[in-house]
Amino acid sequence: MSKIHVTTTINGEPAEFLTEPQMSLLDILRDEMHLTGSKEGCGSGDCGACSVIMDGRVVCSCLVLGVEAEGKDITTIEGIANGEDLHPVQRKFLEHAALQCGFCTPGLIVATKALLDRNPDPTETEARYWLAGNLCRCTGYDKIIRAVMDAAAEMRGA
Amino acid sequence: MTYLNKADLKVVGTRPIRPDGVDKVTGRAVFGADQALPGMLVGKLLRSTHAHAKIVSIDTSKALALKGVKAVVTSADFPDIPSEEAFVGEGPMNFRDLSRNVMARGKVLYHGHAVAAVAATTSEIADAALALIDVKYEVLPFVIDVEEAMKPGAPVLHNDLFTQGTTPQPTEPSNVAKRVQFALGDVDAAFKTADVIVEGRYTTEPVHQAYIEPHACVVSVGADGQAIIYSSSQGHFMVRAYCAKLLGMELSNIRAMPSEIGGGFGGKTLVYLEPVAMALSKQTGRPVKMVMTREDVFRATGPTSGGVIEVKLGAKKDGTIVAAEAILKFQAGAFPGSPVQPGCMTCFAMYDLKDVRIIGYDVVSNRPKVAAYRAPGAPISTFGTESAMDELALKLGMDPIELRLKNAAKDGTKAAYGPTLQNIGYIPTLQAAKAHPHYSAPLGKNQGRGVASGFWFNIGGESSGSVHVNEDGSVSIVTGSPDIGGSRASMAMMCAEVLGIPMEKVRPVVGDTATIGFTHLTGGSRVTFATGMAVTQAAEKVRDELKVRAAKIWDIPPEAVEWKDGMAVPAGANAGGFDPLSLADIAIKAAKTGGPIISEVSVNAQGAGPGFATHICDVEVDPETGFTTVLRYTAIQDVGRAIHPSYVEGQIQGGAAQGIGWALNEEYIYNAKGELDNPGFLDYRVPVASDMPMIEAVMIEVPNPRHPFGAKGVGEVPIVPPLAAVANAVRSATGLRMADLPISPPKLRAAFDAR
Ligand code: FES
Ligand code: FES
């Protein structure tokens, strides 16, 4: 099977890869680009562990084909912090102990960043529905939601 | 030495950032499937398409002939293990059963049972190879339901399974693997003295642990037979032990490396992939990586049992329970080993009963072999007993918390399963529940409130921990306990407390099987208790050694040195007028005073304090759709001492959420062909953020004097009360006793209609 050449931007840097037509963006990120921060919990769009931001929208990278990345701007968990400076969402997840095993955490942080980029002042209900596609089996979501609301407040300067 | 006085603690009880936190919020943490080795092959499993069938033949020749396929294995490539009971994981395990669960031998016992595996250069080639393996089956009748499986004439899974625990032992094989009984007093006579009797039959469905990380491993076996295993599990010593047994290897020839683990809840206390990857790697001489799909996880791992719970309670008019009886029938899946025994032991352990009898049956059927799930057995049996307690309170016209207070177990209570309870905090959880504003808050239309309690033993056992003082005075800790929910933080905190230094000076790591002493797996709520005890003792030995070194530097006797706030100081004026020596001051001179300062301690910790919890749940029911919304939830628990309160709260909240899912949504649904119909997160619906309210975790601290800091296990008991707490709330909202879980909208709608 011949591979397709894709030119894209990942975490602000130009990137190129060769992909077979059926490969998912998640497989490309994890296996070709060695960005293993995005996780596979289901491969069917039901858990959100593979969430990345593509042209400003949060998507399940397991449901996106590698070829669809052509010309797109992709942000993964590895691109959320600014060097050693954690993004406020990452910091608040740590301060609120919003993770136990941490497997859902990359997807939740990416999805939360996308939420706050779009809606800096979500209600708790809005946050819960926005994140309803990101499963966490460990925490019961309590501390996650607190971290999200606190990060939103900090980013608004409230 | 103990540190039970909370006022003296500087680190324990605070809420620092966990040491592995940054890795986990930046994507740097390496989980099972993130591991890769050069030259790695992809391993995949072929799974049974029948619920029950004889394997007539397996032809692998076409698969082997495919370009890129490096090996194909079947049960013929594994030793045929004789029956042998062992205790390696979270419960008893028969090595033969485990081996046959990992790779079917002669018979497939459930849809999804592994029958063959391939190793190939790419995932696509591996898939193509699986399609070329020709398995001839002779299809057998199957049985899914537990009570069906118990009936005479039911299809028998194992011809050599004769019920244990009955006299005389039957001569005919059946699906009932075991009968267990726990009793105190004379129940039949005691029921005759009761003023009020309630009886009920309750059922639960199998539910999966549903950790978000599927099972994954990379295994590499060298030409000299030395194997290295990277895998996500609750215990790499367990992985090593099982793989050695299943492949006939020596323990020292296997090095098991712990990766980060993306949730387990008991479900990662046994092996599925590792022995298969090991066999494939042995044959190919190359590393083999295996990762389950979510469908594999649902079809072939976990879940916990579904069960039938028959309960009878007898009480005096004033609420004193005079007799209690329960009969439990638990599905074990394809091999014996349901948690019916702990189910029996826990379901009345909250109460001080003189006359009580609990009988349990462990029953096999054509389902995946069950695995431990958080307080194994207790949520199932306690759903029955705590629903019955609610019925009793109604019948007596008594407040449900008052009824529980009247009968509550306290220090000195003899439990039906044997021991006399000590240092327990059940009554304080009930008192706190009663006094909590939640309990008296007003309720609206279609709303109701339920309460329920729960018990879990908690365990101790073997753990190792080492503490190293580095040359610059910083400290490293190694333990053998995979960190599943923040235990690195609690280990570092206990060590820092003992040494009198800030927690940030202490870096904890999880060592592999070759770098730290044997440590039993992460389960049974044992890590903070047992591994924490090992780390604390190792830190104390290091502290003693630091005093010895300071004494050498000062040239005074060691008894004349005291350790205070992370410094060696002279014990008094007589000892001499020396300036305090910090850890760094002493560490830098270590070479001159006797060499490296380290200590490794291994313990077999005894005296884990049992956990008790009481939960309050408010629901609102939509009579039109039958949909139940949890509006408010308060979980009160005796935690002994919270080392890192945030992670203790997290355990309580997470356990409660899993219990709510169990009560309302989650179930294994089988079709007429004996296939699981919902093997994915779309149809097996775990609670999502929009389903849940905040969960208020209330921690009561009744310290456990058998642990240096008073800790009790906290991870398991929070999943015990929610099933009945939710059902009791639904009853309060609707007047309907929902005795069969889950209380899904169609079921509740049907109950409304039937009224
Ligand atoms: S892996 Fe993509 S949604 Fe689960
Ligand atoms: S922290 Fe484990 S799944 Fe969310």
What pLDDT does B387 receive? 98
What pLDDT does B524 receive? 83
- Nearest-Cα distance to chain B for A71, in Å, is 24
What pLDDT does B495 receive? 98
pTM higher than 0.90: yes
Query: Average pLDDT of chain B?
Result: 96
Instruction: Write the residue in A41, A44, A134 that is nearest to B213 by C-beta.
Output: A41
Report the candidate in B96, B484, B90 with the shortest Cα–Cα distance to residue B270. Answer: B90
pLDDT in tens, B275-284: 999 999 999 9
Are residues B526 and B470 in contact, defined by beta-carbon separation less than 8 angstroms? no
What pLDDT does A151 receive? 98
A104 CB less than 6 Å from ligand 2?
Answer: yes
User: What is the rounded CA–CA span in Å between residue B518 and residue B536?
Assistant: 17
Instruction: Write the residue in B31, B650, B656 that is nearest to A143 by C-beta.
Output: B650
Label residue A2 by pLDDT band (50, 70, 90): confident
User: What is the rounded CA–CA span in Å between residue B628 and residue B631?
Assistant: 9
Provide the residue type at B222 as one letter: G
B108: part of which helix (H) or strand (E)? strand B107-108
Q: Is residue B220 part of a domain?
A: no
Residue A1 predicted with pLDDT over 70? no
Q: Is residue B47 part of a domain?
A: no
Taking the centre of ligand 2 as the mean of its atom positions, its distance from the CA of residue B681, in whole angstroms, is 15
- Give the homologous superfamily in CATH for domain A4-79: Beta-grasp domain (3.10.20.30)
Taking the centre of ligand 1 as the mean of its atom positions, its distance from the CA of residue B122, in whole angstroms, is 21
Do the Cβ atoms of A44 and B294 come within 8 Å? yes
Q: Is residue B573 part of a domain?
A: yes
Q: Minimal Cα distance from B27: which residue of A?
A: A37
Are residues B607 and B707 in contact, defined by beta-carbon separation less than 8 angstroms? yes
Question: Helices (DSSP H) in B481-531: which residue ranges?
Answer: 487-499
**Can you spell out the DSSP letters for B120-140?**
ESSHHHHHHHHHH-EEEEEE-
Q: Is B29 on the interface with A (CB under 8 A)?
A: yes
pLDDT in tens, B139-165: 999 999 999 999 999 999 999 999 999
Total number of domains constituting chain B: 1
What pLDDT does B88 receive? 66
Question: Helices (DSSP H) in B6-138: which residue ranges?
Answer: 21-26, 61-65, 95-102, 123-132
What three-state secondary structure class fits B581?
Answer: strand
Residues of chain A with CATH 3.10.20.30: 4-79
Do the Cβ atoms of B688 and A133 come within 8 Å? yes
Provide the residue type at B193 as one letter: T
What pLDDT does B43 receive? 98
Taking the centre of ligand 2 as the mean of its atom positions, its distance from the CA of residue A37, in whole angstroms, is 14
Rounded to 5°, angle at Cα B432 from B426 and B438: 130
CATH number at residue B570: 3.30.365.10
Contacts of A144 (CB under 8 A, 6+ apart): A93, A96, A98, A99, A108, A131, A136, B689
Distances (CA, A) of B476 to B9, B14, B18, B255, B539: 21, 20, 15, 22, 11
- Nearest-Cα distance to chain B for A70, in Å, is 23
- The topology (CATH level 3) of A88-156 is DNA polymerase; domain 1 (1.10.150)
Do the Cβ atoms of A101 and B485 come within 8 Å? yes
Do the Cβ atoms of B263 and A100 come within 8 Å? yes
Residues of chain A with CATH 1.10.150.120: 88-156
pLDDT in tens, B189-224: 999 999 999 999 999 999 999 999 999 999 999 999
Label residue B89 by pLDDT band (50, 70, 90): low
User: What is the span of the domain harbouring residue B535?
Assistant: 6-29+460-605
